[in-house]
Amino acid sequence: MAAKDQADGAEPMTEAHVRPSELETWLETRHWPVFLVSAAALLGLAWRLRFVQDDAFISFLYAKQWVHGEGLTWFGTHVEGYTNFLWVVWVAIGLELGVDPVSWAHVGSMMAFAVSIFAVWRIAQLVTGENVPALLAVLMFGSNHSVASYATGGLETMLQTALLSLAALKALELLRTERISERAVLTLSFLLTAAVLTRLDSVVLGFWIGVTVLWTAYRRGARWRVVASFVSPLAIILGLWMAWKLDYYGGILPNTFAAKVGWDGSPIENGLLFLGRFFHWYFIWPLLLAGGLGALVGFRAGQSSNSELRVWLLLPPIVSWFTYVVVVGGDFMEFRFIVPAAPFLFVLLADLVHNGLGKTVGRPLLCALIALLILMVASHRHATGFAGISEDKTLDSIPALGTFYGNYPNGRWDRIGLRLREDLLGSDPLLAAHAVGAIPYYSGLDTVDMWGLNDPWIARHGQTAPPIYQRPGHRRHATLAYLRERRVNLIIGDPTRIGRGELTRMDQPRMFMFWAQTAISFNRVPVREATLVAMPLDGRESLLMWYLRPTPAIDRVITERGWERRKISQRPGG
C-alpha cells in the first residue's frame, strides 16, 4: 500500500494519516475470496439478464452460410454485412458442432464476461496498487445494467471487451517489468490482433495500448527484436485478412460503414446525446466530478501517490473511444458502444472515488461504498424504468431489443421465419425487410436488406434519411424502384402483426395504404395502389406483407395456405 510506503510523522492530512478501517483491512487481507464471490454474483446477474437481439442473427446467418459451403456471403452475394469476423468464426464452430447458435453465443459471451471481470480486477490492482479500489472497480463494472446485459445479447460486444481488457492488463504487466521480453510482447500483439479481428474499431483503444508499450520499450533501450515481435503478428495477420477482404468483398471497410455512417452533422448530435444519456442516467458524471475534484485537491496538497498518478494514463483511451462514439453517432442499441471502454472508465472512477475523494476527506471506504450504492440504485432505476424506446426514438431498451419490440415474446425468434419457410419454401420468393436477422436466418429465404447493411447498392446509393430523422445508424434505405428492379416479391418492412381476418374485413383501407407508404422508409414516391397479403402466424395473428411482384407459385401458396389478400388504392372506392 502507498500508505505503508510512506514514513510516519509527515504533515497532517497526508495519505499516510488516512488510517484504514477494520473493514478495509479485512477486505485487503481477504481480497481473493471476496473477489471470487463478487465475480460469481456478477456472472449470476448477467445470466439472469441474458437475451438475444435480431442483429445477432445476421452474424449467425453468415456463419451458417459458411458452414453450409456458401462462403461468408449473404445468400451468395459477396458483401461484408457483419463487423465481427472472429465472432462469426466462433458461431460457425458451434454450428459445425451442432449447437444452437443462441446457446453457443451465450456460452462464448459469458466466458468473455468472466475474463473481463478478472481483467478489470487485475488492471485496477496494478494501476492503484490496492485491493479495495480494485474490488470497487469490479463491482461498478459488473453491476452496470448495460454491461451485465451485454454479457450476452448474441453479439461480439463482450468478446471485444475481454480481448481489449486482457491486452491492457498485459501492457500494464510489461510496464512493471525491468526487461520487456519478446514473448510477452508477442502475446500482447496477438491479443490486439484478435481484438481487431473481432471488431475493426478496436484500433481506437488498441492504439494507446500499443503506443504505450512501444514507447516504454524504446525508452528502456529494447532491442529491435522486441519491436519486431510486437509488429509482426499485427502486420502479417491483419495484412493477410485485409488482403483477403479486398479480394473477396472488394473493400477493406465493412459494407455496414457505408450504410450507417453519414456526414450531415446529425451523427455528432446523436453521439453527444447517446454519451450524455449514459453518464446522466447511470449518475456517473457527478461521481466523476466529485472524485476528480477530490483528486485535484489531494494533488495540490501533495497527497497523491505514484500509483494514483498512473491512473490518469487511462484518460487517453477513454477520451479517444468516447470521441469515436460521438463521431459515428452513437447507436440505437442501449449503450452497447460504451461497453468496450467500460473497464477503463470504471477503473478510473473507482480510483477517483476511493483514492481521490476518499483519501482527501479521510474516509476512502465510506466514499467507495456510497458511490457503489449510488451506481447500483441508478442502474436498477434505469433497468426497471426504461423498457421501450426513448421518446425521440433514438435509443432502444434492452427489453425492446430482446423481444424485437414485441414480435418475439418468450424467446420464440423462429416464430415468423419458420412459418415463412413452411409456406413459401419451393416457391422461390425474394423477400425485403428491415429485420434481416431472425427472419432470413430461420426461413432460409433470400432477403433484400432494406437498410443496406447487407446490400452494397443500398448502402451507397439508397434513399438518404431526411434531416428530421435522428435515429442513429441507418442513414440509407431501399427505394421502391430498386425493390422492383430486384424483382422483390414480398415486402415485410418491420414485422407488422394484425388480427386474423382484419385485412379482409377492413373498412379503413387508408390505414393500410399508410402502412404501405411507410414500409419503404424515406420514400418520396407516392404509393397509389398496393396488393397486401396476410400470412397466418397462429389462430389469432397474421403477418402483413406487401405483395409487390406476383408469381403463379406464390399465388398458389396464398390460396392453399389460407392467406388473406386485398388490393387497396388511394382512389375513391379503393
Burial class (CB in 10 A: 0-12, 13-18, 19+), 419: buried
**Strands 564-569 and 463-464, how do they pair?**
unpaired
Beta-bridged to residue 74, according to DSSP, are 77
pLDDT value at 486 more than 70: yes
Percent of the chain with pLDDT over 70: 92
The bridge status of strand 529-536 relative to strand 541-547 is: antiparallel
Residue 34 pLDDT > 50: yes
Contact 104, 111 (CB under 8 A): no
How far apart (Å, rounded) are the C-alpha atoms in residues 246 and 252?
A: 6
Mean pLDDT of the 489-498 span = 94
- 186: nearest Cα among 231, 222, 221, 239: 231
Q: Are 137 and 121 in contact (CB under 8 A)?
A: yes
pLDDT classification of 18: cutoffs 50, 70, 90: low
User: Pseudo-torsion of CA 324, 159, 402, 480, nearest 10°?
Assistant: 60
Residue 17 confidence (pLDDT) above 70: no
Residue 140, pLDDT > 80, answer yes
> Does the structure show a pLDDT above 50 at 270?
yes
Q: Residue 265 — pLDDT band, cuts 50, 70, 90? A: low
The pLDDT of residue 428 is 94
Give the phi and the psi of residue 494 in degrees, each rounded to 5: -80, 130
Instruction: Give the pLDDT of residue 9.
Output: 37
16 falls in which pLDDT band (50, 70, 90)?
very low
Higher-confidence position of 288 and 20: 288
Q: What is the mean pLDDT of residues 460-483?
A: 85
What pLDDT, on a 0 to 100 scale, did the predictor assign at position 266? 65
pLDDT band at 304 (very low <50, low <70, confident <90, very high): low
pTM to 2 decimals?
Answer: 0.92
Q: Is 574 within 8 Å of 444 (Cβ atoms)?
A: no
Read off the pLDDT of each residue in 488-501 and give the average, rounded to a whole number. Answer: 94
Residues in the chain: 574
Q: In this structure, what C-alpha cell is assigned to residue 164?
A: 481489449
* 253 vs 260, higher pLDDT: 253
Task: Answer yes or no: is pLDDT of 508 > 70.
Answer: no
CB 176 within 8 A of CB 126: yes
Q: Is it the case that residue 93 has pLDDT exceeding 90?
A: yes
Predicted local distance difference test score (pLDDT) of residue 3? 39
Cell numbers given for 289: 466530478
Q: Is the pLDDT of residue 561 over 60?
A: yes
Give me the pLDDT at residue 181, please. Answer: 84
The closest alpha carbon to 84, from 16, 185, 17, 153, belongs to 153
Beta carbons of 563 and 557 less than 8 angstroms apart:
yes
DSSP string computed for 145-195: HHHHHTTSBSSSHHHHHHHHHHHHHHHHHHHTSSS--HHHHHHHHHHHHHH
**Cα dist from 67 to 26, 60, 61, 408, 551, whole Å:** 53, 10, 10, 26, 31
Q: Is the pLDDT of residue 94 over 50?
A: yes
Poorest-confidence range of 71-85, 261-275, 444-458, 533-547? 261-275
Q: Measured between alpha carbons, how far is 284 from 214 in angstroms, rounded to an integer? A: 33
- Lowest-confidence region among 34-38, 367-371, 407-411: 407-411
510 band by pLDDT with thresholds 50, 70 and 90: confident
To the nearest whole number, what is the mean pLDDT of the chain? Answer: 89
CA terminus-to-terminus distance, the chain = 80
Q: Which residue has the higher pLDDT, 274 or 313?
A: 274
Per-residue model confidence as pLDDT tens digits over 185-214: 999 999 999 999 999 999 999 999 999 888
Asked if the model's pLDDT at residue 573 lies above 70, the reply is no
pLDDT of residue 5: 40
* Rounded Cα–Cα distance for residues 305 and 158 (Å): 33
Instruction: Spell out a b/e string for 346-374, using b for 16 or more CB atoms within 10 Å of the CB, else e.
Output: bbbbbbbbbbbbbbbeeebbebbbebbeb
Q: Give the alpha-carbon dihedral of 149, 152, 153, 159, to 10 degrees.
A: 110
Q: What is the pLDDT of residue 11?
A: 40
Which residues sit opposite 463 in a β-bridge? 477
